[in-house]
Amino acid sequence: MTTARIFKPKQNQIVYHYCSADTLKAILESRKLRFSDINMMNDAKEYIHGYEIFEEAATRFLNRTGINPNVPEIEKDFFDAVDKVLGQIQLIAHPFISCYSEEKDSLGQWRAYGDDGKGFAIGIRAESLDLMPVRTLKVEYDEEKQVLEMMTELLAMYQRYTANGKTNDQAFFEDRVLAATFSVGFKNPAFAYENEVRSLHVVGISKDQPQRFVDHGGTNSKGQDFPPFEISYHVSENHLRAFIDIPFWNQDEPCPISEIVIGPKNRSLASNILLYLGSLGYRDVELTKSIIPYR
């Protein structure tokens, strides 16, 4: 699972971030992408889903349901130890998420995220995501595949745990944290139309009072270190939402924005957008218009 969920973009692949006009302006001017508390995503069971997949996988092992006879029996104590971390992971490593789609012109996403078709979809070069201090995952929606992937990871974790004398050490702890973190790549099948790719930046929770989020910065795929980011809050739909804004464009690298798609109900003139992009220093950004006949 820890490798299966890692997003491996195709050459020159573009992923799309659907947003309102206000959000497009904020992203272009700040050169930052917003990462939001996973508990505030559109799926009400967003972070619970991965834990439910773990429960199903553990149950199959304990009941030997569909288990190859050559696979060793795994004692309940092992799953209890895994559960102690997975069940409390948000107090250990709390994901903040930024979401993209492999779909360039999706009616469902225009409705849900693109201001009901009045917004934009920002086309971002997929390989540029790893220049930020994040891990990018490809979301899996098939629940049976999710369970089998979790079972594969649990078996591998158990084998490492056994080889290490069943010691509850730092390596076992890190295995459990990694399994919990990468289960963020599992999502309910109802959202399969999103064809989602998601980047996550993990923050901690203070051990001292008052309790609060604490960011520790991070490292990108090139080994570049980033200092801690400020964790802020805004109100959206009467909810307080925690977020982090992370820079996405290192000036030493090519511009990560390749394309901007104008929503089906957006009446913006392409010429005006090009002039705006030029005023901010963006070059060679392709402008396209949604072909969906949505009113």
Q: How confident is the model at residue 43 (pLDDT cuts 50, 70, 90)?
A: low
Band (pLDDT 50/70/90 cuts) for residue 238 is confident
Is the predicted pLDDT of residue 47 greater than 90, yes or no? Answer: no
**51-55, 70-74, 76-80, 204-208, range with the lowest pLDDT:** 204-208
Q: Count other C-beta atoms under 10 Å from residue 216's C-beta.
A: 12
What average pLDDT does the structure give for the chain?
Answer: 92
Per the structure block, which two tokens stand in for 164?
Answer: 């290490």
pLDDT at 175 over 60: yes
Residue 165 has pLDDT above 70, yes or no: yes
Is the pLDDT at 1 greater than 60? The verdict is: no
Tokens of residue 80, six digits: 């209890």
Domain map of the chain by residue range?
A: 14-289
Nearest one of 190, 218, 179, 187 to 202, comparing CA atoms: 218
What pLDDT is stored for residue 252 in this prediction? 75
Q: How far apart are CA 273 and CA 87, in angstroms?
A: 47
State mean pLDDT over 239-266.
91
Element (H, E) at 79: helix 76-86
Please give the residue that has the higher pLDDT: either 134 or 93: 134
User: Ramachandran region of residue 180, left (φ > 0), alpha (ψ -120 to 50) or beta?
Assistant: alpha
User: Where is pLDDT greater, at 110 or 237?
Assistant: 110
Higher pLDDT, 213 or 92: 213
| pLDDT > 60? residue 44 | no
pLDDT at residue 92, rounded to an integer: 81
Count of all residues that appear for the chain in the document: 295
Using left for φ > 0, alpha for ψ between -120 and 50, and beta otherwise, residue 56 falls in alpha
